[in-house]
Structure 1
Amino acid sequence: MASPTLAEDIRQRLGECSPAERKVGRVLLAGWPAAGFETIATLAERADVSAPTVLRFVTRLGYRGFPDFQTALRAELDERHASPLTLYTAGGYGTAAADGAAGADAGPAALLGRGREVFTTAVDRTLAEVPPHDLERAVQLLSDPKRHITLAGGRFTHLLAQYLGLHLMQLRDEVRFLPDRPVERTAHLASMGRRDVLVVFDYRRYEDDKVTMAELVRDAGGRVVLFTDTWLSPVSTQAEVVLSSQVGAPSPYDSLVPTLAVVETVVAGVITALGEAAHQHMQRGEETAERAGLT
């Protein structure tokens, strides 16, 4: 099982801290991860505590000192920005060491066993760590008929954006995907306002345009729902709802299986929240598809 990220560890440990130490933790989280590379003196000043308090805080987290904490943060950020190519190299995929000798250890049974272990653990941990209040708020926003929903994904995660969006389209009105063409995308973003919800899927090797989109929506008074990994997309600073997932896989590619489980959990919540309205919308859709010959 993967260890929690530094930010997750800080959040979980705040309850164990003294009031002064909690101030340090909150300052770190508010400016994460850049705040972790500030000097002890700067952090102490921003948190309105003493320098020894900063040192006590990182010691409580299990580090020998502030340089040790910053070394761990650098290592985590390297992992946060890892690409499939770097993971392939680091994991030794395709080498004799990784593949093993011929026989059962390299066969389909071993691969299936490894997949079962990795995916079961990742899905179980992801669903266990989803904050109930974030799930509840996501369902509220996506089931509110007064709100307009726009979905945007990335290189691979556009598939999940489409998956969620197509489900929502069967349950309610005013659901669309962010257009690809620059003129249409610009017009759409410029028209978004207080009633709009932008649903963003952004995973490591994060895309700069997602941050800009989120900022535009927030500046216009709209809301942002973010699906991301445990390292947290930079969009998290703009998002009202953050639903993070494990990405462990038996290959150098990050798995989207746990995210799909979260997406389907959200869909189930939206169906419950909409109630009979969802049923009627689905029925109208079926009747329209049948008359138009689209079934």
Structure 2
Amino acid sequence: MATGVLADEIRHKLGELSPAERKVGRVLLAAYPSAGFETVAAIAERAGVSAPTVLRFVSRFGFRGFPDFQAALRAELEERNASPLSLYEAPDYGRPVDEAADGGSLLDRVGRVFPAEVAKTLAELPPHDLDAAVGLLADAKLRLTLAGGRFTHLFAQYLGLHLMQLREDVRFLPDRDVERTATLASLGRRDVLVLFDYRRYERDKVAMAELVRDRGGKVLLFTDTWLSPVTSRADVVLPCRVTAPSPYDSLVPTLAVIETVIAGVIEALGESGHDHLRRGEDVAQHIGLV
């Protein structure tokens, strides 16, 4: 089992597990990763299953035993908490994907890393979650509010600006406290909160997701393969790889997922999206913006 993708592996394989094993998986995902550091007996009790069921669950994912499973969780936690500084100080950051190959030039290295990570991200993207994301974003009855983090606010804006050209009721979470509070206070059952949350995860995103869920709204999350803490509160999760030839996590695969989602929304909206885009172009020409 590769580190950094355990929660995603559990989510993908829930349908292949026995009913009792699925209970274990849901208990672990509901409080991931902290639940995985409890004892076998404690997890079994919370899931309402036997201790051998918990052990069978971890063996399903290739672990020799429960200590092996917890060791993988600890390694994953170290990766989840990594920062550009800690990665910069790591002796092997930016090494080639194929360690046996010569590192080559910078262009050679990025030419291997970026296409491979985009391909893996798209291959690992759960089709059901992709369809659900498109469905939420294309539903004209729902209002969309987008928010990101230190760097990912740029991707929230990128996605949001496309959606504004295709449909009504799209907005960004404001930066100023009073406006932000007013926007969050207005969220309800017809709202979808679209969040971008990548390591190092931001606490306010969890609070926002809880607020929306408590009021009957939906949460769509873009995150990395270590999965933001928002995951357990999200209705739809789109995980993206972040491997890069530098100490900074790459958002190239995330951009590919965003472009895929936009293409899906355009297909789902059909002629209504075309009409909305045409009206926007007409207004822009009328006021001299194009």
- Tell me whether the two structures share a fold, i.e. TM-score over 0.5: yes
Q: Deviations over 1:193-215 (max 9, x none)?
A: 11111110000100001111111
Q: Deviations over 1:12-42 (max 9, x none)?
A: 5556655544433332223321110111111
Q: Deviations over 1:189-243 (max 9, x none)?
A: 0011111111100001000011111111111111111100011111111111111
- Matched with 1:116 is 111
Matched, 1:213 2:202: no
- Matched with 2:278 is 283
Question: After TM superposition, what 4+ stretches of structure 1 lie above 6 angstroms from structure 2?
Answer: none
CA 1:28/1:191 → structure 2, altered by over 3 Å: closer, same or farther?
same
Q: Distance in 2 between matches of 1:49 and 1:219?
A: 29
Q: Distance in 2 between matches of 1:138 and 1:13?
A: 20
Matched, 1:47 2:52: no
Say if 1:150 and 1:197, in contact at 8 Å, map to a contact too: yes
**TM-score, length-scaled by structure 2:** 0.90
Deviation at 1:73, TM superposition (A): 0.6
Secondary structure, counterpart of 1:199 in structure 2: strand
Q: Deviations over 1:244-285 (max 9, x none)?
A: 101011111111010101101111111111111111111111
Matched, 1:165 2:164: no
For these two proteins, the number of residue pairs brought into alignment is: 284
What code does the residue aligned with 1:161 have?
A
Matched, 1:134 2:120: no
CA 1:222/1:50 → structure 2, altered by over 3 Å: closer, same or farther?
closer
Q: Distance in 2 between matches of 1:18 and 1:181?
A: 49
- Matched with 1:80 is 80
Secondary structure, counterpart of 2:168 in structure 1: coil
Q: Deviations over 1:65-91 (max 9, x none)?
A: 322221221110110111011111114
Say if 1:214 and 1:239, in contact at 8 Å, map to a contact too: yes
Structure 1 unaligned residues grouped into runs of 5+: 100-104
Greater RCO (CA < 8 Å, at least 6 residues apart): 2
Q: Which moved more, 1:267-276 or 1:2-11?
A: 2-11
**TM-score, length-scaled by structure 1:** 0.89
Q: Distance in 2 between matches of 1:196 and 1:20?
A: 34
Structure 2 unaligned residues grouped into runs of 5+: 97-101
Deviation at 1:184, TM superposition (A): 0.4
Secondary structure, counterpart of 2:105 in structure 1: helix
CA 1:26/1:292 → structure 2, altered by over 3 Å: closer, same or farther?
same
CA 1:237/1:205 → structure 2, altered by over 3 Å: closer, same or farther?
same
Q: Distance in 1 between matches of 2:13 and 2:93?
A: 36
Q: Distance in 2 between matches of 1:90 and 1:44?
A: 38
Deviation at 1:180, TM superposition (A): 0.4
Matched, 1:246 2:241: yes
Q: Root-mean-square deviation (CA), in Å? A: 2.2
What code does the residue aligned with 1:113 have?
D
Q: Distance in 2 between matches of 1:151 and 1:18?
A: 37
Match of 2:182 among 159, 180, 187: 187
